[in-house]
Amino acid sequence: MTAKFLNSALGAALLLILAGLANTCVHAPEPIPVPTEEVPEETVTAPNVELIKEPLAPAVHSLLRKSQAALEQKNLEDAEAHAERAYRMEGRDYRVLFMRARVSLASGNTEDAEQWAQRALGSLPMKYKEHRRQTWEFIARARALHGDDAGRDAALQEARSIR
Amino acid sequence: MRLSVSRDKLRFLLRLWPVPVVVLSAFCAIMLYQMDGIVREKFEGKRWRLPSVVYARPLELFNGAPLRDEDLEMELQELGYFKVKDPLQPGEYGRNGDKFDIQRRGFPFWEGAEGTTRIQFRIVKSRVADLMQNGEASELSRLDPMKIGGIYATQKEDRKLVQLKQVPKYVIDALIAIEDRDFYDHFGVSVKGISRAMWTNLKAKRWVQGGSTLTQQLVKNFYLTPERSIKRKFTEMVYSVLLELHYSKEEILETYINEIYLGHSGDNAVHGFGLASEFYFGRPLEALSLDQAAVLAAIANGPSFYNPARYPDRVKKRRNKVLALLLEDKKITKADYEQARKQPIKVRPSLRWTPNRFPSFLDLVRRHLDRDYQNKDLAEEGLRIFSTLDPIAQVQTEKAISDFMRRQGKSAGKLQVASVVVSDSGEVQAVVGDKVAGFQGFNRALDAKRSIGSLAKPVVLLAGLSDPNKYTLATHISDGPVSIPLSSGQVWEPQNIDYGDHGYVSLLTMLTQSYNRATVRLGKELGMKRVKDTFRKLTGSSEIPDNPSIMLGALSMSPYEVAGMYYPFFSGGYRTDLKAVRGVQDHDGKRIKAYPSKSIKIYEPSVIHLMQYAMRAVIFEGTGRSAFSFMPGDLTAAGKTGTSNDQRDSWFAGFTGDKLVVSWVGNDANDPTKLTGSSGGLHVWAQIMAKVSHKSLALNAPPGISYQWVDNATGLLSSSDCQGVRYLPFVGDSAPKQSVPCPVLPEPVSPDQPPATTTQEPAMLDWLFKLMQ
C-alpha cells in the first residue's frame, strides 16, 4: 500500500514538473529517393525465350519465371531482384541477359536496357534469327525512348537485315 | 536586554523556516525534472546505436550446383549449425555419406523473407543432386548467409532487436524467475527484494545476492556508468521509479531483453537475448528450447562467470536453479522440468563468430558504402548489408596463399601476397590483402599500387586487334631493336628479358612468349594515343601516364584495379564497376538501396574472342605453362604473366569460365624478389583457381568470327594437312587472302625481311580445338 501511495504521489508531482517538456530529438535516416518515372509501355514483340532450346538449369528458369511474374505485376524491385539472382547463377545465357534488359527498360533505364540486350545478342547462337531480329527491335525501342532517333533507325536496319 | 535581542533573532529565524524548505524543494524538483528528461529522452528516442551488419552471399543450392562436401561443412560450421544425427530444430544439420539434411533457419533474404526450411540433397562428384525442400523435390534453395562483420561506432556492441511478442513465454518466465520474481508488483524498486537479498547475504556472511529489480538493472546498463557508489545507487533508484511511472512493464521488459549484456565475441559485446540466442545456440530466439532459455536466463547474472563454453558445470547448476524456480512458480510442468534438467549444456561448437573475419573484404565493402552513406548511419542505423563475399572462395584463397608461402621456405621472409577473386557477373568474391589470413592492416589488394609489368601487353595487343583490317593474330612483327624518343630528349630502347632478338614473330607469339620489343614496336606503330585510349577504356580511368613505357607495364595499379582492367577480357568485351555490395536493407528488412549489375560494351565480342584465344595460348604454350602443376589439366584458362623491373613484382591475371583471379607477389620495400610472374604470381593464381573455379573457359566463336588454318612461318592461309600450321580466329574477313602451298620451309631469320620466322607454334591445341568444335 505504502509503495503504491508513494508511487502515485511522486507521479502527480512529476506530472506538474514535466508538463511542457519538449520531445526528444530523434535522428532519422536520410529519405530514400523513389523513382517516379513512368514505366513505358511495351510496343514490340518480345522474343519467346521458351523457343530457345539451349540447356539452362531449372533453377535459373524458375527465377526467370518469378522475374517475369513480378514484371507483369509492375513490381520492378522484385523483378530486378529475381533477374539479378538468375544472372549471378548463369551470366552468359541469352534468356537471362534479355530478362535483365526487359527489367531495365521497364524501370526506365534505357541505356542499361540496351547494354543488356547487346550482351544478350552476344550470347545468342546464330541459328535463332527471329530472336536476334526481335532483340534488335528491342534495342531500337530502347534507343527511341532515350531520344536517339538515328540509333533507333540503325537498330531497325539491323533487325530488317536479318534473314 | 540581550535576552530580548536574542529572542527577536530567534523568532525572526523561525519565521524564515519555509525558505530552506522551499529552496530544497525547488532544488529537488529541478533535479527530478532533469532526471526525468534524461529518462524519457533516451527511452523514447533511439535507444541503441545499432551497428550495420554485413552478410556474405547466401549459398545457392540447386541440382548441378558445384559444391564440395568439405566446403559445405565449413560453411555450415561457420554459420553455427549443429551437426546432429537427426536434425529437427532450425540451425541443425546431419550428414549420412553423401546425403545432407539441413534445418535451414529462417532469414529475411534480399529477394524476400523465407521461414525455417528443411533442405535435403546429395553431393555427387562435387555437385548438388536430388535437392528436396520440406520433403518435396525442389529446383532452388539456399542457406542463410554468414554474418561476416559489422560497422560500429566507438563501442563495439552487437545486438539483434526483438519484440516482446517474439520472445517465447518461458524465456520471459525464466528471466523473471531468477532475476526479479516481483517484477510485475513493484514500482521500480522492490523493498521485498532488497530485504530478501540482505537476509540471504547475512546468512551467507558474504555478498551473494543483489536486490536490484530488472528495472534497476536496465537503468544501470542503459543510463549509468558501472561505478559503485551510494550516489549512483540512489540515482539508479530514482531513475527506476521514473521509468516505471512513464512506461509499462512490457515496454521495460522488452528494453531489458534487448539491452542486457550476455557475453563477448572477440572484441565485440553480445547484447540482448535475440543475438545471444544465435550466438550461443545458432538458432533464433523463437526456436529456443526450455533448457536453452533457462541457460540464457542463467547467463544474464554474469556472462563471464557463467560462460557456458568455459564453465558448463557452473552454468548447469544455475540453469537447474532457474528450472526449479519455474517449477515452483508453476510455470512449467514436472515433466518439462525433468526433461529440461536432463539436457547437457551444449553451445555452438565454435564461438569464434568473429565480427571481422575477413578484414580485407570488409575494407572493400566499407569503401563501397562510403560513396552513399555517412559513417554515422552505417554505425548507428542497424543497416543490413548484403555483400558479394563467397566465404568458400575467400577461405580457399587464404589457404592457397598460405600454401604458397610455406613452399617458399626461408625466402618467404619479406614476401607479401595479395589476391582478388571476381565472378563472371562482376562480383568480388574474395579479397586477400596480406600473407596472413585475417590480418587487419595495410590492404595490399586495394592499396598496394605496383608496376604491372607484362600484364600491360594484352592491352597493347588489343589496341592492335581492334583494327582487324590491319592486325590479326597471324600478323608478323619484328622483335628486333626498337627505340622511341622521349620528351626528355632521351631515347628509350627496351630489351627482351633474355636480351635476345626473336626475329619476326606473330602477334600471337609476341603475347604468349611475352616479347618486349615486338610489343613496343606494335605500340609504336599504333601510336601512344591509341594505346592510352585502350588503357582508358579498360580501366575507366583517365589517369594514364603519357609515357611509352606503359606498353611494358610501367604504370602502378593495385590487384583490385588490375581485376577491373582484365574484366572485359573475361566478360567478352564488357566493362563493369566491380561490386562488393548487392544491396542494403534497413533494420526492419526493407530494401533501401539496390546495387544491380551494370556493364558497358567497350569492345566487340569478336575482338575479345581473339584476345581470349591468345591469352589461353599463354597458359597452354607460353609463359603460363606451369599453371598446370597446380590446376587440373581439364580446366581451361586464359591469362597473362607480369614481372616488373628487377623482379620486384610478380603478377598473374587470368580467368576460366566462371572466375577471374588476380594475384600479386612482392614485398613492401619494393626490393627484388627473385620471382618472375611465372614462378610467383602464377603459382598463387593457379592454386586459387584450382579450388575456386568449376567451369572451363569455353571459346565459343561469337558472330563475326571465322577460323582458318594459317601457316605459322608466313602468316598466310594454309591447310590442316600441313605441318607448322594452326587454326586461328579472324574477325570478319580479316583472314589472309593469300595462301601458301604445303609444306613451307622456314626462311633464314632476318629481322629486316618480313615476314619470315623460325617459330614453329604447336598446332596440337588447334587440332584439339577444332575437334571440340
pLDDT digits (tens, 9 = 90+) for B273-300: 998 998 898 888 888 999 999 999 999 9
Predicted interface score ipTM higher than 0.85: no
Assess B27–A contact: CB distance below 8 Å, yes or no.
no
Using an 8 Å CB-CB cutoff, list chain B residues near A8. none
Tell me which residues of chain A, numbers 31 to 70, contact chain B at a CB-CB cutoff of 8 Å: 32, 57-59, 61-63
pLDDT on residue B444: 94
The answer to whether the Cβ–Cβ distance between B111 and A13 falls below 8 Å is no
Query: What does pTM read for this prediction?
Result: 0.81
pLDDT cut 90: percent of chain B above it: 58
Which of B44, B592, B594 faces A24 most closely, judged by CB atoms? B44
B20 pLDDT band, cuts 50/70/90, is confident
Tell me which residues of chain B, numbers 668 to 707, contact chain A at a CB-CB cutoff of 8 Å: 702-703
Q: Which residue in chain A has the smallest CA separation from B47?
A: A26
Task: Report pLDDT digits (tens) over B429-443.
Answer: 999 999 888 888 899
Indicate which residue of B92, B179, B380, B381 is catalytic: B179
Distance CA B280, CA B617 (A): 52
Catalytic, B179? Answer: yes
Cell of B141: 534453395
What is the residue-wise DSSP string for B227-243? ---HHHHHHHHHHHHHH
Using an 8 Å CB-CB cutoff, list chain B residues near A11. 245
Task: Report pLDDT digits (tens) over B629-688.
Answer: 889 989 999 999 998 777 788 999 999 999 999 999 998 877 777 777 677 889 999 999
Average pLDDT, chain A: 78
Distance CA B562, CA B445 (A): 10
Q: Which residue in chain B has the smallest CA separation from A8?
A: B245
| Dihedral over Cα of A110, A116, A119, A123: its sign | negative
pLDDT on residue B447: 94
HSE value, Cβ hemisphere, 13 Å, CA-based, for B326: 30
Give the strand pairing for B117-124 and B127-133: antiparallel
| B487 or B73, higher pLDDT | B73
Write down the H helix ranges in B667-730.
Answer: 681-692
The answer to whether the Cβ–Cβ distance between A3 and B186 falls below 8 Å is yes
The answer to whether the Cβ–Cβ distance between A27 and B380 falls below 8 Å is yes
The answer to whether the Cβ–Cβ distance between B111 and A82 falls below 8 Å is yes
Beta bridge partners of B739: B717
Assess B244–A contact: CB distance below 8 Å, yes or no.
yes
Distance CA B17, CA B545 (A): 88
Q: How many residues are there in chain A? A: 163
Between the CA of residue B417 and those of B233, B407, B535, B667, B679, what are the distances in Å?
55, 13, 25, 8, 13
Q: How many residues are there in chain B? A: 773
Task: Report pLDDT digits (tens) over B686-708.
Answer: 999 999 999 999 998 888 899 99
- φ/ψ region of B272 (left if φ > 0, alpha if ψ in -120 to 50, else beta) reads left
Indicate which residue of B451, B454, B558, B571 is catalytic: B454
Task: Report pLDDT digits (tens) over B565-581.
Answer: 999 999 999 999 999 99
Cell of B494: 627496351
Assess A126–B contact: CB distance below 8 Å, yes or no.
yes
- Statement: residue B744 has pLDDT above 70: no
Residues B518, B505 contacting (CB under 8 angstroms): yes
Catalytic, B454? Answer: yes
Name the residue among B382, B312, B285, B388 with its Cα closest to residue B58.
Answer: B388
The answer to whether the Cβ–Cβ distance between B601 and A80 falls below 8 Å is no
